[in-house]
Amino acid sequence: MKKTPLYEAHLRHGGRMVEFAGYALPVQYTSIREEHLSVRRGAGLFDVSHMGEFLIRGPEALAFLQWATANDAAKLKVGRAQYSMLPNARGGVVDDIYLYRLAEEEYLMVVNAANIAKDWAHLKKLSQGFAVELADISEETALLALQGPKAASLLQGLTDTDLSQKRKNDVFTAQVAGRPARLARTGYTGEDGFELFLDPEDAEAVFEALLAAGATPAGLGARDTLRLEAGFPLYGHELTDDTNPLCTPWAWVVKKEKEFHGKEAMLATPCAEKLVG
């Protein structure tokens, strides 16, 4: 079982560790209810370092992503992000992802931990013929999620960057507690918040600084109840290789006006059942 850079910190703070996607992660610290409400009312802090991160670079990075993803990556300006999906050849979903445009020819893709190997193989295969380079930086990246109505004010005390000028889905670099970070105003709880991409060696210092500033540590249990309450899918549950996204509440992600891998099969597959909620 793999450990994130925060494994020892979780133990110190009373995290109840479980296996998830091959990683030892805290399912809770005190109680799922308390942690859930902390995010809804204040600021909760999650270790999501198990997630996968891929860099996509090159002169045809955008063309490749337009083909590989269901959303319209062309709408992303530098410093912006979007939710998207990786369609498969039969019109199902390889994974749901978040895509960040870091520079004119550079993107960051965050994928689900259980799908890292599958997504990597899928993208490498699709990238053939495109002038693009892919790099799996999952093991070189720690990821924290600070979520809740007080997340911005709490984080502001640890950075000189004016967070009031940052919108939902913005991505930018900043110093947090004296450590370099890439921040994104994104999350998986339905609340305002930020995700912090860090060097693994800096993760514990930033984690402890956020807790000292008033964040509540939260585990996988609250992460699941929060995303359910917000109506967000979890791959392997609401989305699978056999799920046509047009038959779900997330059909809006699919931009039918562009060409993408699996489009013909997706549009030709009728909805035998429809997911609602």
Q: What pLDDT is attached to residue 273? A: 87
CATH superfamily label, 53-138+244-268: Aminomethyltransferase beta-barrel domains (3.30.70.1400)
- The model's pTM: 0.97
**CA 165 to CA 174: how far, in whole Å?**
13
3-class SS of residue 98: strand
Please, what sign has the CA dihedral across residues 163, 50, 214, 41?
Answer: positive
Q: What pLDDT is attached to residue 276? A: 83
**CA 73 to CA 150: how far, in whole Å?**
31
- Cβ atoms 93, 268 nearer than 8 A: no
Residue tagged 């402890």 (tokens)? 208
Tell me which fold the domain 2-49+142-230 belongs to: Gyrase A; domain 2 (3.30.1360)
Residue 8 labeled ligand binder: no
Numbered ranges of CATH 3.30.70.1400 in the chain: 53-138+244-268
Who's near 70: CB < 8 A, 6+ residues apart?
A: 84, 85, 86, 87, 245, 253, 254, 255, 260
Q: What pLDDT is attached to residue 272? A: 85
**CA 241 to CA 221: how far, in whole Å?**
25
- Cβ atoms 164, 218 nearer than 8 A: no
**CA 138 to CA 37: how far, in whole Å?**
30
Q: What is the pLDDT along the chain (277 residues), one digit of tens a residue?
A: 999 999 999 999 999 999 999 999 999 999 999 999 999 999 999 999 999 999 999 999 999 999 999 999 999 999 999 999 999 999 999 999 999 999 999 999 999 999 999 999 999 999 999 999 999 999 999 999 999 999 999 999 999 999 999 999 999 999 999 999 999 999 999 999 999 999 999 999 999 999 999 999 999 999 999 999 999 999 999 999 999 999 999 999 999 999 999 999 999 988 988 888 7
Numbered ranges of CATH 3.30.1360.120 in the chain: 2-49+142-230
